[in-house]
Amino acid sequence: MTDAGTPLVEVSREGRVLVVEMRRSAKRNAVDRALADELDAALTQLDEDDDLWAGVLAADGPVFSAGSDLGAGGDYYTERGGEYGIIRRPRTKPLIAAVDGPALGGGFEIVLACDLVVASDAAVFGLPEVARGLVPTCAGLFRAPRSLPLNLARELVLTGDPISASRAYAAGFVNVLAPVGEAKSAAVRLAKRICTNAPVAVRASLAVVNEMASADDAAGWEITGTAMRAIAGSADAAEGVRAFFEKRSPEWTGR
């Protein structure tokens, strides 16, 4: 909840589909403790309600998510879902990301944690951490190469530059391209299409696909930890974050 008591996540039902919408648009839907907890609760509802067969994760405002709220000090981990309430969550039901604006850093990693992606022409995807002296910490370093062609994933990681929704669609990452403002409705339609199938068969099939895809996650997390330790306490990491808050170009020293 916000200080005014307004929910940071709006949950609604479209038949068998649960629509989960982040509503912290004033902060570009950056995830702090409160937003992580509300996302966790909404996705737990999807997990545990037998009348729900699929979910859509959307966002209010012009930005899907800027990822971590740097003012949160890393306090956005939930017991069931891990980072942001979603990154490490074991799920049994299909979850579709509806992206109608930039999904950068942890915001892109939220999309990578979903099963399918619907994006509008306003969407861009990127991992800008290196531009701040940091590394992606929420599975982007191993889920991006899994979901995108290897050299495209390298480009995202090494340049920090985003790619357009149309390029992500051409690469096979985005399942459906939608007009601006219509990603959520297109994602709901795709979710309802899935729900015309036998739910037990859908869940069993998804479990096999996701288990095969995530078989190397333990190694991925371990290697990500190595990268995090490599930058921990570096002068460049401190300078990158400082420059971000001061809205200026960083001055790297390579130390």
- The DSSP secondary structure of 177-215, one letter per residue, reads EE-TT-HHHHHHHHHHHHHTS-HHHHHHHHHHHHHHHTT
Quick one: CATH architecture of 9-178?
A: Alpha-Beta Complex (3.90)
pLDDT above 70 covers a percentage of the chain that reads: 98
**Rounded average pLDDT over 227-244:** 92
3-state secondary structure of 239: helix
Q: Is the pLDDT of residue 156 over 60?
A: yes
pLDDT for res 127:
98
Rounded to the nearest integer, the mean pLDDT of the chain is 95
pLDDT for res 73:
82
Q: Binning pLDDT at 50, 70 and 90, where does residue 245 land?
A: confident
pLDDT for res 4:
60
Residue 44's H or E segment, with its range, is helix 33-48
- With CA atoms as reference, report the closest residue to 58 among 21, 94, 24: 21
pLDDT for res 74:
84
pLDDT for res 173:
98
How far apart, in whole angstroms, are the C-alpha atoms of residue 19 and residue 4?
A: 23
Determine the length of the chain.
255
Question: In this structure, which amino acid lies at residue 208?
Answer: V
pTM value > 0.85: yes
How far apart, in whole angstroms, are the C-alpha atoms of residue 159 and residue 131?
A: 8
- Tell the residue number behind the tokens 């190694």, with chain if given: 219
How far apart, in whole angstroms, are the C-alpha atoms of residue 179 and residue 121?
A: 6
pLDDT for res 2:
62
Sign of the torsion angle spanned by Cα atoms 78, 188, 47, 108: negative
How far apart, in whole angstroms, are the C-alpha atoms of residue 192 and residue 117?
A: 14
How far apart, in whole angstroms, are the C-alpha atoms of residue 105 and residue 53?
A: 29
pLDDT for res 172:
98
Active site residues: 109, 129
pLDDT for res 1:
67
How far apart, in whole angstroms, are the C-alpha atoms of residue 234 and residue 232?
A: 6
Q: Binning pLDDT at 50, 70 and 90, where does residue 6 land?
A: confident
How far apart, in whole angstroms, are the C-alpha atoms of residue 108 and residue 120?
A: 14
Q: Is the pLDDT of residue 3 over 70?
A: no
- Tell the residue number behind the tokens 């690469």, with chain if given: 171
For residue 144, with 0-12 CB atoms within 10 Å meaning exposed, 13-18 middle and 19 or more buried, which class applies?
buried
In the chain, what is the straight-line distance between the N-terminal and C-terminal CA atoms, in Å? 40
Task: Provide the token pair at 104.
Answer: 């950068």
pLDDT tens digits, one per residue of 72-120: 888 999 999 999 999 999 999 999 999 999 999 999 999 999 999 999 9
Tell me which of 23-37, 78-92, 178-192, 240-254 is least confident: 240-254
